[in-house]
Amino acid sequence: MFELTKADTHSKARAGILRTAHGEIETPIFMPVGTQGTVKAIDHRSLKEIGSQIILGNTYHLYLRPGTEVLKEFGGLHNFMNWDKPILTDSGGYQVFSLKDLRKIKEDGVEFKSHIDGSKHWFSPQRVVEIQQTIGSDIMMQLDECIHYPASFIDAKKAMERSVRWAKTSLDYFKETRDNYETKQHLFAIGQGSEFKELRKICLEENCSQDFDGFSIGGLSVGEPTEIMYEIVDFSTDIIPKNKPRYLMGVGTPENILEAIERGVDMFDCVLPTRNARNGQLFTSNGKINIKNSKYKYEKKPIDENIPSWASNNFSLAYLRHLFIAGEIFGLQLSTFHNLAFYLWLVKTARQKILNGEFLSWKKDFLEKYRSEE
């Protein structure tokens, strides 16, 4: 599934290719989040125009709406949403465990109530794989237990051990069943253990001893200090085999992504570029912008001349500010278009710099400029 194209000689950064039934993905890659079968405030044509190679869906949300029967009727999510490129689905574990008072953890799964209507449901490792087979995602995630931060060593150990058991159960079920719709699917394991390296090591070594297609680093970006996140990422990528893709779940800012690429991560997803766009925060090659700020009222410069996208180059900051102040939907669309274009430009440029042997010097120069405007 994964081919390592180039390893940086001065860091753990790497460029590779992921091969799926719906196309190849050049890594490092950022995956726009389309939780419910759509990336908020942007259409499919625009996603392709800015270079989206893969998008992310969520098993929990798609299971509740539109439901597996609808997805089965359409032959999977690709057909349902008319998207012909790869899709990765999260297991929904994070959402289920975030329900707190609405869920009950058992050894063989988790019982939970829908946040929509309060109806009762059951997720087991096998059931979550089955749902993702119905979704038809190219890359599936195991069901894991997501622990809060901070967590005690004992609580983190219990969650990690359960996640390891569920990983094996998921893989066994996956091997016993067939991919739906006659397309090859891939299953990733998720590393847990909170901030404790001892637990992370046990989890990753156990998962890596099994025949998973890739490995995710989970349980981060949940409130821990950034330094701890980087430390755990660095520690984890030393354990994950070099011939398998590494996915850092739910991360993050442009700085987070570049630091994680330096530490050997291949795949990223985060709601930050789309959510922040809808709130008026833009990520640019010159730093972050709060477009509602009055200083942009007469600003004729485009959003970002360095980003090769229609939205970034063709509209003034003053016009975009006007759209937000006036409450126009077009403002949300333009800002979303730009932010995703920026994130995809960022990882594409990082890949090119890795291939050219220039990653660390470029990263240093980029971050100095990016942070200088904050």
CATH code of 231's domain? 3.20.20.105
Do residues 156 and 141 share a domain?
yes
117 labelled catalytic? no
Question: Cβ(188)–Cβ(137) under 8 Å?
Answer: no
Do residues 221 and 309 share a domain?
no
Percent of the chain with pLDDT over 90: 93
Region 240-269: mean pLDDT is: 98
Do residues 154 and 92 share a domain?
yes
**Average pLDDT along the chain:** 96
Enumerate residues 6+ apart whose C-beta is below 8 A from 70: 80
| Catalytic one of 90, 144, 266, 304 | 90
Number of helices followed by number of strands (H, E) in the chain? 15, 16
Percent of the chain with pLDDT over 70: 99
pLDDT band at 83 (very low <50, low <70, confident <90, very high): very high
Do residues 258 and 293 share a domain?
no
Do residues 148 and 172 share a domain?
yes
Residue 116 has pLDDT above 60, yes or no: yes
34-43 residue pLDDT tens: 999 999 999 9
Do residues 243 and 325 share a domain?
no
Do residues 49 and 163 share a domain?
yes
Domain-ending residue, one of 211, 235, 270? 270
254-262 vs 226-237: helix crossing angle, rounded to 10: 30
Domain-ending residue, one of 270, 293, 309? 270
Region 255-268: mean pLDDT is: 98
Do residues 259 and 193 share a domain?
yes
Q: Which amino acid, 228?
A: I
| Catalytic one of 8, 213, 266, 269 | 269
How are beta strands 246-248 and 109-113 bridged, if at all? unpaired
Do residues 239 and 117 share a domain?
yes
282-329 residue pLDDT tens: 999 999 999 999 999 999 999 999 999 999 999 999 999 999 999 999
Measure CA of the first residue to CA of the last residue in the chain; give whole Å: 40
- Radius of gyration of the chain from Cα atoms? 20
Range of 314's domain? Answer: 277-372
Domain-ending residue, one of 235, 270, 305? 270
Residue 303: per-residue pLDDT: 97
DSSP assignments along 201-226, one per residue:
HHHHHHHHTS--SEEEE-S-SSS--H
211 labelled catalytic? no
Residue 351: per-residue pLDDT: 98
Looking at per-residue pLDDT, the higher value among 306 and 99 belongs to: 306
Entry pTM: 0.97
Specify the DSSP class assigned to residue 89.
E
Do residues 305 and 253 share a domain?
no
Region 166-183: mean pLDDT is: 93
Residue 374: per-residue pLDDT: 53
Distances in Å between the Cα of 180 and the Cα atoms of 58, 123, 137, 167 are 18, 19, 10, 20
Residue 373 has pLDDT above 80, yes or no: no
Do residues 143 and 73 share a domain?
yes
Region 240-248: mean pLDDT is: 98
Do residues 263 and 325 share a domain?
no
Per the structure, the count of domains in the chain is: 2
Region 269-288: mean pLDDT is: 98
Region 161-175: mean pLDDT is: 98
